[in-house]
Chains A and B, each alone.
Chain A
Amino acid sequence: MDFELNDDQRAILEAVGALLERHAGAERAIALAPKSEYDHALEEALHEAGFLELALGEGTGPLEAVLVVEAVARAGGVVAFGAGALVAPGVAGRSLSGPVAMASAGNGSPIRYGAHARSLLLLDADEASWITLEPGDAEPVRSSFGYPMGRVRSASGDSFGRGSGERMRNWWRVALAAEAVGTMDAALSVTIDYVKQRRQFGRTIGSFQAVQHRLAECAVLLEGSRWLVREAACLGAPSQAAAAAAAHATAAANRVFTETHQVSGAIGYTREHDLHVWSMRLQALRLEFGSIAGHQRALAEARWGEQSR
């Protein structure tokens, strides 16, 4: 047991922090949003610097990849980094560059990066498959929830074989939870900065206990999610730990959404204020792949269900 970053991990985070400083951030996310653009430049930069290879790297692994997934999400990056750098290695044994989308077979729901994706990881019961998408295979879907969304019309591809479905489910949950952690972290810190400077009744609103307690409870949920995700990644995404991370992080995301907006007042709903960059995404993450209740049930089934007996 050891909860501190080691020197290598610290170096990785510093390097990716510097890269994100240049290539990501609220301003960039806001600039890309009107046309639902994908951030190819950011993805290219992450790829070139080798961050996509962390999960299968020498001396690094999924834990390092998760730390970077958190960081990219915190910086508001509009890239499918979790899918390419964490889920693909976990399922296919290699990273995938170029926008990667993830979908569950047969449900036809909009998926993140669906219209931009060049490849699709498709989950179908016990099997996951990899599909190369051609232009026209997918159509964009307008969404309020902060990511470019799309729907894949038809697709078939190469299966990774029996058992790959379980791997995909688990790594998907870890990636999703890691993104939620980074996104909550940013939403909360934008909000903390705001309540420290916004004054009403002659004092900063951050000095009101009603405001403080809402944010303090968010912090408890966020930090719990953070450690659950890191533990799940470190242990190689066993089903219980993966579902626990996703269940906690999505429930926390929902709460952080509500509370950060509540204490930000009307300005929080505007595109002038950065909160929306992260808050709206929290709802997409919360809904993706079965939503909060789905992850909770998955954990219960993994721990107490028939198959676990």
Chain B
Amino acid sequence: MEFNWSQEDGEFRRELAEFLDATLPSDWDEISKGGPGSEAQASFSREFAHKLAERGWLTQNWPAAYGGADATPWRHIILSEEMWSRGEPRGPQYMNVNWIGPSIMEYGSEEQKREHLSRISRGDVLWCQGFSEPEAGSDLAALRTLALRDGDVYVVNGTKIWTSYANHADFCFLLVRTDPNSKGRRGVSVLLTEMDLPGIEVREISSVVGERYFHEVFLADVRVPVSCRLGPENEGWSIVSYALQYERVGAPRYARAALTVDQIAAHARERGLLSDPMVLQKLGEARVLCEAARLLTYRVVDQRTRKLPPSADSNLARVAGTIADRAVAELALEVFGEDAMIYGSFADSNFRMAMTAGVAVGATEIQLNLIASRFLGLPRE
């Protein structure tokens, strides 16, 4: 057991931080205000990810055979922390690296690997995740979008919802039902679908979280080549499980939250609030929650480093991260007070980012269900 970073890892973090200081433009705070899915940030990401790729960092955690550098999961979490705490200059491309690429590596044909992995590792492509549907939220296996075989294409009909980044995406990691007579986890497949195929329509869903945050994706007689199917037909559920396990602890939101607490403290000092014992206490509490989420995430990273099978530790990390996000957002409101009523202000942006933490990437209750059954060994309801 060891909680110090190795010297090399420490140097990597420093080098990365210097690179970010030098590379992020002076108006980066303005660009990143809208979150990874905003117009400004998504287009910035194309340029930025190129630069990361040139340094060999974008997909450093991938095997060398697929354009990576076989970097350890520890290196990858350092990279992710630095990116998230700066507001994620990779935009939506963090998903490519975290779980879309790895799923293609695990389940893809040689041709799919050639096509997609090289584009991702060059920083050339944006993806979106087409899982949720109006009737399939937490109960993802209730999905209905149908893909029927017609020669060497699938004809796809259905609706996807909440799809982040769909407005920018070149491709969709699309979950469909390929066996019309199936139910639940059987009979589903993943299609690596180009977003500009005829029949795909993306509509923004207006929300209070931010601009262009959510989308609906309508699929009407979309003809997707069978060669775009990832893995065997009707056996896509194992890909979903594989992908979700990487997605759950992919984005270290605690790193962002911890930096936010530092900024709240700086503001509190300016306003002379740091001598207020209540403010100190709440700052301490918020920081502790970020630290706990960090270590629970590290626990998962450690298991990945050892190539252990996925465990309920990722659910623990997710719940801890949500608790931290909420505490930090709440504190920002209290310390900034009525200033938070201004759209785009620090406390407001932070609050809107945090308000979805308990629902995005699997609702808290679902995480708790999984902890109860897999970690505590309690019987299913």
Residues of A in contact with B (beta carbons under 8 Å apart): 1-6, 9, 63, 192, 195-196, 204, 206-209, 211-213, 215-217, 219-221, 223-225, 227-228, 230-231, 234-235, 243-244, 247-248, 251, 293, 295-301, 303-305
Contacts and interface: CB of A to CB of B under 8 A. Distances in A.
**Nearest 5 CB-CB pairs, A to B?**
A224-B292, A296-B284, A212-B372, A227-B295, A3-B302
Interface of B: 1-6, 9, 74, 262, 265-266, 268-269, 274, 277, 280-285, 287-289, 291-293, 295-296, 298-299, 301-303, 306, 313, 316, 319-320, 323, 365, 368-369, 371-373, 375-381
A220 B274 CA distance: 30
19 contacts: A1-B9, A4-B1, A9-B1, A196-B378, A207-B378, A212-B369, A212-B373, A220-B323, A223-B316, A227-B298, A230-B3, A234-B1, A243-B284, A247-B285, A296-B280, A303-B283, A303-B284, A303-B287, A304-B268
Secondary structure of the A contact surface, majority rule = helix
Contacts of A224: 292-293, 295-296, 316, 320
Contacts of A228: 288, 291-292, 295
B281 A216 contact: no
A231 to B, nearest CB: 4
A212 B265 CA distance: 36
B280 A297 contact: yes
A174 B269 CA distance: 28
Nearest to A9: B1
A1 B74 contact: yes
B369 A1 contact: no
Query: Main SS of chain B's interface residues?
Result: helix
Contacts of A63: 1
B381 A207 contact: yes
Contacts of A3: 1, 298-299, 302-303
Contact of B379 (A196, A216, A220, A225): A196
Contacts of B316: 219-220, 223-224
A207 B377 CA distance: 10
A207 B291 CA distance: 31
A295 B287 CA distance: 12
Contacts of B298: 1, 3, 227
A224 to B, nearest CB: 3
Contacts of A209: 365, 369, 372, 381
Contacts of A216: 319, 368-369, 371-372, 375-376
Given A207-B379, A220-B319, A303-B287, A235 B295 contact: no
A9 B74 CA distance: 23
Contacts of A221: 292
A208 B3 contact: no
A299 B283 CA distance: 8
A304 B283 contact: yes
A213 B296 contact: no
